[in-house]
Amino acid sequence: MSTLKDTLTQATKDAMKARDKERLATLRLINAEIKRVEVDERIDLDDARILALLDKMTKQRRDSITQYEKAGRAELAAVEQAEIEVIQEFLPKQLTEEEISEIVASAVQSTGASGMADMGKVIAQVKPQVQGRADMGAVSKLVKARLA
């Protein structure tokens, strides 16, 4: 069992003992998603895959917040924001834009990328380095700006 999965399990137990309903609900969502993937694919997830899953869950909630705010549903947006905060506790520290730029510059140089046709190569090299620590949409914009 992965260490991140152990941490999530312990956090779930702690939330139960503390009777923290909102936190417990979010942790149960995370655990359910991990279990769903493990059952569907018949594998045990490692930390890297769990981080990718948490990253995806965060992105989904950000998209939901945007939709709720457009619809004038601030209370639902607040619930999604609270879930993001719980999920981010288990993600590594977020990279600054400057750190991401350095990683992108290094990847562009090492792949010899010269134009937009090489964007896939650059993203393939950058993604494992920033997974769970940066929004891939922002990374993609930086790569496009560098290659344009």
How many Cα atoms within 13 Å fall on the side-chain side of residue 144? Answer: 6
**Pair 54, 27: CB distance under 8 Å:** no
Report how far residue 63's alpha carbon sits from residue 60's, in angstroms, rounded to the nearest whole number: 5
Q: Where are the beta strands (DSSP E) in the chain?
A: none
Q: What is the pLDDT of residues 65-121, one digit of tens each?
A: 999 999 999 999 999 999 999 999 998 888 888 888 899 889 888 888 777 888 888
Residues of the chain with CATH 1.10.10.410: 97-147
pLDDT exceeds 70 at position 1: no
CATH class label, 97-147: mainly alpha
3-88 classified as CATH 1.10.1510.10: yes
Residues of the chain with CATH 1.10.1510.10: 3-88
**Pair 30, 45: CB distance under 8 Å:** no
The answer to whether the pTM exceeds 0.85 is no
